[in-house]
Chain A
Amino acid sequence: MEIYADSDRCILCHACVVACERVHGEARISVEAVRDRACVPVACHQCDAAPCAIVCPSGALAQEASTVAFDAEKCTRCGLCIIACPLGAVDLDTVSMIQRCDLCPDREVPVCVLTCPTEALILGDRFEETKEMRRRAALRIAQSHAVGRERA
């Protein structure tokens, strides 16, 4: 399971960021705007062969079935995981902990997904979710062809 972001629905409201920060102390999701034209939320992808776990020399980050587990006691704060993550989704906070999305283990659905006003964030299995995203994309493209995606 992982968090998917549909950039066509994101409205740059920052609800996910504020909610994540409220629950975790620091926000582990961020939302970036590009040229005032579009934006996309960025969070850990829970990679299958996670670069952060692969490079971790102390075994603090370790690949498990569908996620990466973190053991704070083993962490040496070396920061290799930060360099390795292609999304910049791993960070070190000022105290000692690695900050990385843990999908809110106490909850069925992470707070960022619950709070998202536009359902731009989706928790799901990647095959199911990509199918849904393809369906939406196809619908949009079909509509655009029908009416013309024109702007004044």
Chain B
Amino acid sequence: MADEKLVPTVCPYCALGCGFYIKLEEGGTGIEYMLDHPTNEGALCPKGNAALEILSHPDRLRFPLLRTEGGWKRISWDEALERLAEEIKKTIKVHGPGALGFLGSAKCTNEENYLFQKMARLLGSKNVDCCARRCHSPTIPALNRAFGAACMTNPISDLENSGCIFVIGSNFAENHPLVARWALRAKDRGAKIVVADPRLTPTTWLADLHLQINLGTDVALLNGMMNVIIEEGLYDRKFVGERTVGFEELEEKVRGFTPKRAADITGVSTGAIVRAARIYARSPASAIIYSMGITQHSHGTNNVSACADLALICGHLGRSGAGLYPLRGQNNVQGACDMGVLADFYPGSVSVNDAEGIRRIEEAWGATSLPIGMGMTAETMPVAAGDGNLRFLYVVGEDIVNSDSASSRGRKELANLDFMAVQEIFMTETAEMADLVLPAAAWAEKEGSYTSSERRVQWSPKAIEPPGEARSDLSTIVRLANLLGLPFDYAGPEEVLAEIGKMVKSYAGITRERAEGRGGVIWPCPFLDHPGTPILHRDEFCAPQGRARIVPVDYLPPDEERSLDYPLLLTTGRIGLHYNAGSMTRRSISLMKRAPELFVEVNPQDADRWGIVDGDLVEVKTRRGEVWARGRVTTRQEAGVIFMPFHFPQTNTITSDVIDPEARIPEFKVAACRIGKMKGV
């Protein structure tokens, strides 16, 4: 075993930040479990176990490629970067910097994301965004308004100390399996698990109480629960009085949401709503876990506000076992948001409308006129490309063609760009549309820090060399910035992290050395000797007078409803063996052989009605178009609802593109549809 070396790494899949070792030995790489990691204690989900399969995959991009009339042409890095710089300069000269779009990546490191948005903004473009727009963009305005901080309040492992875990719109057993470890530990100690989900999932198997609510009726359920809690006097008067504002308005608002009314809207019994409310309110410390089932709605911001309100009136915040857990999706989506790869925020959550904050950033960056005001979001960039307002797009590590809603429209719009550059590890459907493709190093082939869902900043060292001429995104961004005349002079990512510490207060005490320690540091970490802050809001909120704001919200139905032409509702989600748009997991043999194709789950009643038998090819049609998928007849959904995972490109071509007015997230979770057996197969 002497020729064996273990390099610690952070899992590249979901946002839990699980640690493991990459074992380097003669003849290849392997995985070794990291038993002392605070989040996963060595355990890994199937995707973590399969993570190394993508590194050596034959599809990896190895050389810069330029689109020519005769197809892709391999070019040198110098040619590629000069061409890219020239296109950027040309666009600025002809159309101004407002015609440039930059999509950063929640899969890249903090350092890469920080430099990416810095480059974009120094060039004068406001149009910087990332895929957080499609997962937790409602969390940002809603929790900023409520608590003054848009992030998970307690660490995952602290769930162990909860007396009640209320799960709404999250199937963590499939999508964040390590959360189930801590939820079950709580259950071992007597905790109750309450799950509100329209579907029966492995998460609901763990539940003591499952509320199988109608799609998109979360606010009605939450308001109904708050009605019970207030009527029965179960709310925390002291907490509400001392630490919040806005309770009276909420009391007024939820008065009309009797359990009866909530039951009529949600489709669950009044008894179940009352019971859920009592369990949550009475437990000594209750946690709320939510995810895309809450956010991906045309009223996603309202949904998040209602979750925050429930936690606030019961005082289940600021201590161990309590808290609000927005489970993030990508390994570094929290970090990308902290770094300001968002159309509405500069680094450190400085609003793009905060002239004074931006002036301080100008001083720090030695810049004179940084752009002020909201930029184009990930959703509006394709639209602007279609309208001709966006002429150039630089996409790093995102497969927007597959992950955008109603994606066939987006495909047409992106084709209208003058120039699109894509930096990727694989030739994704988005890269296929680009004019220039730059090969990137994957996570284990470069170094830098990642911030997990629980705000844990961990350094991930380089374990192996990238394939061919692939390079770290950091070195590509620095070289490009230099060609554009920007004085980016960094010896390595640790120097970038040091600059981040000066710009983002909560990262001020985080250095490479500290992030390298087992489990890294949980921000806020405002100075070097600070131990980090696992539990937020202990004494006060980061809001005016330290008080949280309770924001009452109304129930709004989903945008699309069942009709004669579209009698069913389609909802989408993830499965345990795949990940997001699938560009990684669909290239992973051990995962693909267990989940090889797109399927659609149909309730037996609906299957009977439309003549579908388990295993049939089923056509699913919405107002955006139609796709086919393998039919699975199952009672996981109630009649009238069908489910498709979005890991295969077809699904998002038919999802709804109606967006939340504030967070601008599309309503991926509800689309009216019809089904039929595929003809001729």
Q: Which residues of A contact B (CB under 8 A)?
A: 9, 11-15, 17-19, 21-22, 35-39, 111, 114-119, 136, 139, 143, 147, 149-152
CB distance from B473 to the nearest CB of A (A): 28
Given A11-B205, A13-B576, A149-B208: A117 touches B45 (CB 8 Å cut-off): yes
A18/B46 in contact, CB under 8 A = yes
Q: List 18 A–B pairs whose Cβ atoms lie within 8 Å, in order of A's numbering.
A: A9-B184, A11-B174, A12-B202, A12-B576, A13-B177, A14-B46, A14-B594, A15-B43, A15-B45, A18-B49, A19-B49, A38-B205, A114-B35, A115-B49, A118-B184, A147-B192, A147-B279, A152-B268
Q: Per a CB cutoff under 8 Å, which of A12, A115, A147, A152 touches B33? A: A115
Q: Per a CB cutoff under 8 Å, which of B44, B212, B634, B636 touches A115? A: B44
A117/B190 in contact, CB under 8 A = no
Given A12-B202, A13-B576, A152-B268: A117 touches B180 (CB 8 Å cut-off): yes
Given A14-B594, A18-B591, A19-B49: A152 touches B180 (CB 8 Å cut-off): no
Closest chain A residue, CB of each to CB of B636: A36
Closest chain B residue, CB of each to CB of A106: B1
Complex Cα distance, B173 from A116, in Å, reads: 12
Residues of A contacting B190 in the complex (Cβ-Cβ under 8 angstroms): 139, 143
Given A21-B590, A114-B43, A115-B33: A136 touches B188 (CB 8 Å cut-off): yes
Residues of A contacting B212 in the complex (Cβ-Cβ under 8 angstroms): 152
CB distance from A25 to the nearest CB of B (A): 11
A115/B174 in contact, CB under 8 A = no
CB distance from B20 to the nearest CB of A (A): 9
CB distance from B453 to the nearest CB of A (A): 15
The A-contacting residues of B in range 553-603, CB under 8 angstroms, are 576-577, 590-591, 594
B33/A114 in contact, CB under 8 A = yes
B275 at the interface (CB under 8 A from A): yes
B200 at the interface (CB under 8 A from A): yes
CB distance from B50 to the nearest CB of A (A): 6
Complex Cα distance, B596 from A10, in Å, reads: 22
The A-contacting residues of B in range 41-85, CB under 8 angstroms, are 42-46, 48-50
Complex Cα distance, B189 from A136, in Å, reads: 10
B594/A17 in contact, CB under 8 A = yes
B433 at the interface (CB under 8 A from A): no
Per-position 1/0 for B21-46, Cβ under 8 A of A: 00000000011010100001011111
Residues of B contacting A119 in the complex (Cβ-Cβ under 8 angstroms): 43, 181, 184
Q: Per a CB cutoff under 8 Å, which of B35, B49, B181, B594 touches A22? A: B49
Residues of B contacting A139 in the complex (Cβ-Cβ under 8 angstroms): 188, 190
Interface size on B, residues (CB 8 A): 47
B353 at the interface (CB under 8 A from A): no
Complex Cα distance, B269 from A19, in Å, reads: 42
Residues of A contacting B316 in the complex (Cβ-Cβ under 8 angstroms): none
Complex Cα distance, B241 from A108, in Å, reads: 55
A37/B205 in contact, CB under 8 A = yes
Q: Per a CB cutoff under 8 Å, which of A12, A21, A147 touches B208? A: A147
Residues of B contacting A9 in the complex (Cβ-Cβ under 8 angstroms): 184
The A-contacting residues of B in range 201-245, CB under 8 angstroms, are 202-203, 205-206, 208-212
B180/A118 in contact, CB under 8 A = yes
Complex Cα distance, B31 from A12, in Å, reads: 21
CB distance from A32 to the nearest CB of B (A): 13
In this complex, the member of A13, A150, A152 whose beta carbon has the largest number of chain B beta carbons within 10 angstroms is A152
B178 at the interface (CB under 8 A from A): yes
B482 at the interface (CB under 8 A from A): no
Closest chain A residue, CB of each to CB of B207: A151
In this complex, the member of A14, A35, A111, A136 whose beta carbon has the largest number of chain B beta carbons within 10 angstroms is A14
Residues of A contacting B268 in the complex (Cβ-Cβ under 8 angstroms): 152
Closest chain B residue, CB of each to CB of A151: B210
A11/B49 in contact, CB under 8 A = no
A36/B200 in contact, CB under 8 A = yes
Per-position 1/0 for B269-284, Cβ under 8 A of A: 1011001000100000
B380 at the interface (CB under 8 A from A): no
Q: Per a CB cutoff under 8 Å, which of A18, A116, A147, A151 touches B590? A: A18
Known: A115-B33, A150-B275. 15 other contacts (CB 8 A): A11-B174, A11-B180, A14-B46, A14-B576, A15-B48, A18-B49, A18-B50, A37-B200, A114-B35, A115-B43, A115-B48, A117-B178, A117-B181, A118-B184, A152-B212
Residues of B contacting A17 in the complex (Cβ-Cβ under 8 angstroms): 46, 594
A116/B31 in contact, CB under 8 A = no
Q: Per a CB cutoff under 8 Å, which of A13, A111, A149, A152 touches B45? A: A13
CB distance from B457 to the nearest CB of A (A): 23
Closest chain A residue, CB of each to CB of B42: A114
CB distance from B149 to the nearest CB of A (A): 28
Residues of A contacting B209 in the complex (Cβ-Cβ under 8 angstroms): 150-152
Complex Cα distance, B177 from A36, in Å, reads: 17
Closest chain B residue, CB of each to CB of A12: B202
Residues of A contacting B208 in the complex (Cβ-Cβ under 8 angstroms): 147, 149
CB distance from A13 to the nearest CB of B (A): 5
B369 at the interface (CB under 8 A from A): no
Given A18-B590, A147-B192: A117 touches B44 (CB 8 Å cut-off): yes
Residues of A contacting B576 in the complex (Cβ-Cβ under 8 angstroms): 11-14
CB distance from A9 to the nearest CB of B (A): 6
Q: Per a CB cutoff under 8 Å, which of B44, B210, B635 touches A152? A: B210
CB distance from B278 to the nearest CB of A (A): 10
CB distance from B307 to the nearest CB of A (A): 19
**Would you list the 6 A-B pairs with minimal beta carbon distance, nearest first?**
A152-B272, A11-B173, A117-B177, A18-B46, A11-B202, A18-B49
B192/A11 in contact, CB under 8 A = no
The A-contacting residues of B in range 277-319, CB under 8 angstroms, are 279
Complex Cα distance, B203 from A93, in Å, reads: 34
